[in-house]
Structure 1
């Protein structure tokens, strides 16, 4: 799609499509964030299913509208299940979102990620700067699941990775950079540092990308829409939390409320979007 289609009105239309169509998003994700991601999808208006048994993942991917894979808490059976689901999703032509949590942290994690990607290229990869650089083959240090590189530092790696998979890559951080194999590049500057102090927010971003990609066939626009939505919701949620004199415990709830109750005027007036290519 042309760049003229990427504006607040278009991105809001994608959010409305999620709310109206309630896509089924199959997530094989880490157990630290499973509950929060499911609630984020529900609050957005999507329908989550969190199934990881090898015996059913192919069937589940067969009825879902998108598949989200998150390698946060790895173990061999889950890796095999992810590969099976990935192949089933690719065979059906539904979008696959990969969140390479902690990529670069350990040899086992890197090997598992390489094995997974060898089974089939994802449609979209979303991670922090260090994770994207690691997946792209650029040396990057990862502190557990935290990034030691900014999202801006990862743009070149993200663009190379997008070309390699023939899809979309989002390097998230203070600014979210969304690039694709065709050279399109959008920068989103919403959000708040407090969002990094609630476990599962980054992982929920990947889940939301899956929901948007399920209803918007342009994977780049879908990723921009999802990250825009979460960024604006995050800003508003932090403001409400701080106004109440509360901290990040309350922020978790405010984020979920914001996903459900976000209105068009707030979204369009808050959106900080820069399309660079």
Structure 2
């Protein structure tokens, strides 16, 4: 993990254009603000291109996608590609329905993502690997490293597969991250917020793999730190304290709680 990268993000406070799901907007905005980025939530097609052009990164999250939102996502993604700023795609529940599958196919046809982030079931679906799912949750078992490498190679992107052990790959180099807490699985929007923080870290001047590893590792350490706090009794007390901890200095988050 590169602490200097996180400090760079906090100094820059990158503006991240979110086209994300309605369930997580408030949690994501507050979490990114705490971490050190600047969120903007805008899904209107008429301003999508303009908004992306003034931003430092774009997050596309299909969690509560409806047909009317698809053109704005594609326009924002294309504008980000033209400007040369990062685009992170979170294909939430892509394998759950044919509609979601088609939405992601359309986005990937027209937008070049810097990273695709999702659970093993979601990313396995993108490369035709059979994987057991329940709704939008991944419950299967298998070679997650293979999934990450195949996604990275097929879409020429950074693949970030989240789970008990996170796997990050650019198609050649594949690394694992073992930081984190099971509590994250009990908080709606925890994965979505990670996508936001990934986008902010990609807005730094560091390598994409280092940026991805730093974002994922710090996020996991922050969860570990939070769950160890005496006042945290469950997901209801975890969420607000987790947002607090995302603002902490890296040295504190990496402390003796491990």
TM range, normalised to the smaller chain?
over 0.9
Query: Equivalent residues in 2 for 1:140-151 (5 A)?
Result: 140-150=131-141
Query: Equivalent residues in 2 for 1:191-270 (5 A)?
Result: 191-240=180-229, 243-244=230-231, 246-267=233-254
SS class of match (1:102)? coil
Q: Distance in 1 between matches of 2:191 and 2:26?
A: 14
Q: Distance in 1 between matches of 2:198 and 2:105?
A: 22
Q: Distance in 2 between matches of 1:203 and 1:187?
A: 20
TM-score (norm 1): 0.89
Q: Distance in 2 between matches of 1:68 and 1:131?
A: 17
Name the counterpart of 1:108: 99
Q: Distance in 1 between matches of 2:195 and 2:157?
A: 15
Structure 1 position 164, deviation (Å): 1.5
1:29 aligns with 2:20: yes
1:156 aligns with 2:184: no
1:131 aligns with 2:122: yes
SS class of match (1:156)? helix
Distance verdict in 2 for CA 1:269–1:88, change over 3 Å: farther
Q: Distance in 2 between matches of 1:31 and 1:133?
A: 25
Name the counterpart of 1:95: 86
Unaligned runs of 5+ in 2: none
SS class of match (2:89)? strand
Unaligned runs of 5+ in 1: 1-7, 272-277
Q: Distance in 2 between matches of 1:245 and 1:88?
A: 42
SS class of match (2:22)? coil
* Count of residues paired in the alignment: 258
Q: Distance in 2 between matches of 1:230 and 1:29?
A: 19
Q: Distance in 2 between matches of 1:222 and 1:92?
A: 19
Distance verdict in 2 for CA 1:169–1:268, change over 3 Å: farther
Q: Distance in 1 between matches of 2:213 and 2:181?
A: 17
Distance verdict in 2 for CA 1:171–1:16, change over 3 Å: same
Name the counterpart of 1:5: none
SS class of match (1:48)? strand
- Give the CA RMSD over aligned residues: 1.6
Answer whether contact 2:231 2:237 (CA < 8 A) is retained.
no
TM-score (norm 2): 0.95
Question: What CA deviation, in whole Å up to 9, does each residue of 1:37-88 have, x standing for no partner?
Answer: 1111100011001111000010010011111100101111111110111111
Q: Distance in 2 between matches of 1:39 and 1:199?
A: 14
Structure 1 position 130, deviation (Å): 0.4
